[in-house]
Amino acid sequence: MANIAFIGLGVMGGPMAGHLAQAGHRLTVYNRSIGKAKVWAEAYGGEVAISPAKAAEGADIVISCVGNDDDLSQITLGREGAFRSMREGSLFIDHTTVSARIARQLFVEGESRGVHTVDAPVSGGQAGAENGRLSIMCGGSDAAVAAARIVMQAYAARIVHVGGAGAGQTTKMVNQICIGGVLQGLSEALRFAQAADLDLDRVFEAISGGAAQSWQMENRWKTMAQDSFDFGFAIDWMRKDLGLALEEARANGATLPVTAMVDQFYADVQAMGGNRQDTSSLVRRITRV
CA angle 66, 70, 72 (to 5 degrees): 40
Active site residues: 172
- Find, among 9, 10, 53, 6, the residue nearest to 237 by Cα: 10
- Distances 205 to 145, 183, 198 between C-alpha atoms, Å: 41, 18, 12
Strand partners of residue 123: 135
Contact assessment for residue 87 and residue 29, using Cβ atoms and an 8 Å cutoff: no
**CA-CA distance, 145 to 26, in Å (whole number)?**
20
